[in-house]
Amino acid sequence: MSMGIKYCLLVAICIWALSDSLASTTPSDNDGLVRIALKKRSLDLKSLKAARIIPNRDASHARGLGDTNSNSNVLKTDIIYLKNYYDAQYYGEIGIGTPRQIFTVVFDTGSSNLWVPSSKCVLSIACYIHSKYRARLSRTYTKIGKHCKIPYGSGSVFGFFSQDHVRVGDFVIKDQEFVEVTREGFFPFVTTEYDGVLGLGFQDISVGHVTPVWYDMFFQHHISQQIFSFWLNRDPTSRLGGEIVFGGIDWRHFRGDHTYVPLTHQDYWQIEVGDILIANRPTGLCEFGCAAIVDSGTSLLAGPTTIVAQINHAIGAAGIVSIECKTVMYKYGSMIWEYLIEGVRPETICVGVGLCNGTHHLSTGIASMVYNETQAGSSVDDHESALCTFCGMIVYWIQVQLKERRTKEKVFTYVNELCERLPNPIGKSFIDCDNIAGMPYISFTIGNKSFPLSPEQYTLRVEENYGTVCVSGFGALDVPPPQGPLWVLGDLFLGAYHTVFDFGNLRVGFAKAA
């Protein structure tokens, strides 16, 4: 996670970790760090069609244990977001084996495994157009053989675990466990320029609980600090995509001091964000805090439909017309208004008007309808679920407008406009390129500080043969409480703010990118 316009909510960020034969990785002036240049690939409309982020309630599936004999590995049920890797804007190279076999991979803070195609991959077309690992050619290979699968939004990749030396920049990580993929179960991999994925996430979400590559960098004393940092170059005319630094930070890549915030979970690089502001006006839903995952493997910004619709309205993004949303507003808007004026608790209003039953969490986004189920496991009627969802969004929208002391007529007009701007979970919102300069700043509150994004920073310009197409960088991702509401801060955010991933102190830091 239609008007016939599909979108890529997820475009993976990749990093150019160069081998000896491609010498642009340097040991950083004897400061104990290794800087890895990032190479960037331009986006086009073809690459903005398929991939999206969707929630999944089955943690065992999302963590890739579904194909293993894991009767003893019972994981708690949780909301895990899944990603599609359709195309890469940044890509890079690593080496596996002795002598080294070169692979192009995504460096992804939202996952934790290293995987590349195997020479035993014979049933997937994608394997024939990508580099394949050949164990028999490496004298440092060790067989493991345990089977696994790694799920994504539109399918899974399947394979088995092996062990070999892995080279990242100037580092040789010895005896690293990784996955040899034997089947790539969905079409998008056929069109990608990269071969696999190198995860920079935590071991807790690693398929098979394998130790991630960047853990072993520290354990094997390649770096003295458990830190890596990203600087991404958003200049579309520059071939240099940015830089990743393992073991520290480079002061040349940022201005001012970093604002550090603690991790709220040790599975993803997850923090808490406060209210999201549109031209300094609050959107309301995250006023008391929302979860946010800092994810270098997601190109755009994903968040609750309730807020994304407000942003789309403010920037003039073309969404879909929702008749049901307008119907709820027409029939129940005055009643919701009166309840809010009288001080009725917002979370009880939709139950009070009869659109939600009191046994389920109030849904605040379209995508949550997909998995809005009762605790007993029986499905809720789709129509009733939709009415409850739209009611919840309308309550939030009216509540925000009441704080602005606007008249009932103006509030109702605004809410109906928001219904028209609802983002489609499998669509993309387009904007007029000529209007970008006049669009408002969108600000995230992190650590009680404001982190604004300019219109140029939260939009994408896609060059086509017939001209330039501009796309909103905001897409819908709805995760219900208690795990949600949830934001995913992808490369549009990392491009604006130099980001430090500090595992040693369990925190993430942001400073304005240079």
pLDDT tens, residue by residue, 46-86: 555 544 566 665 544 333 333 333 333 333 345 566 765 54
Rounded to whole angstroms, the Cα distance separating 227 from 269 reads: 13
Beta strands in 359-464 (DSSP E): 430-431, 442-446, 449-453, 459-464
> How much is the pTM?
0.77
> Is pLDDT above 60 for 22?
no
Residue-level pLDDT at 385: 73
Percentage with pLDDT > 70 across the chain: 74
Hey, is 182 helix, strand or coil?
Answer: strand
Residue-level pLDDT at 74: 35
Active-site annotation holder among 108, 164, 170, 478: 108
pLDDT in tens, 302-361: 999 889 989 988 998 876 556 678 888 888 999 999 999 998 888 889 988 888 876 544
Rounded to whole angstroms, the Cα distance separating 281 from 440 reads: 10
Q: How confident is the model at residue 366 (pLDDT cuts 50, 70, 90)?
A: very low
| Domain annotation for the chain: domains and CATH numbers | 34-57+81-232 (2.40.70.10), 251-311+426-513 (2.40.70.10), 323-367+382-420 (1.10.225)
295 catalytic, yes or no?
Answer: yes
Chain mean pLDDT for the chain: 79
Residue partners of 91: CB distance under 8 A and separation at least 6: 14, 15, 16, 39, 41, 104, 105, 106, 193, 194
Quickly list DSSP for 443-507.
Answer: EEEETTEEEEE-TTTSEEEEEETTEEEEEESEEE----TTT-SEEEE-HHHHHHEEEEEETTTTE
Active-site annotation holder among 164, 295, 478, 491: 295
Hey, is 310 helix, strand or coil?
Answer: helix
> Is pLDDT above 70 for 370?
no
> Is pLDDT above 80 for 15?
no
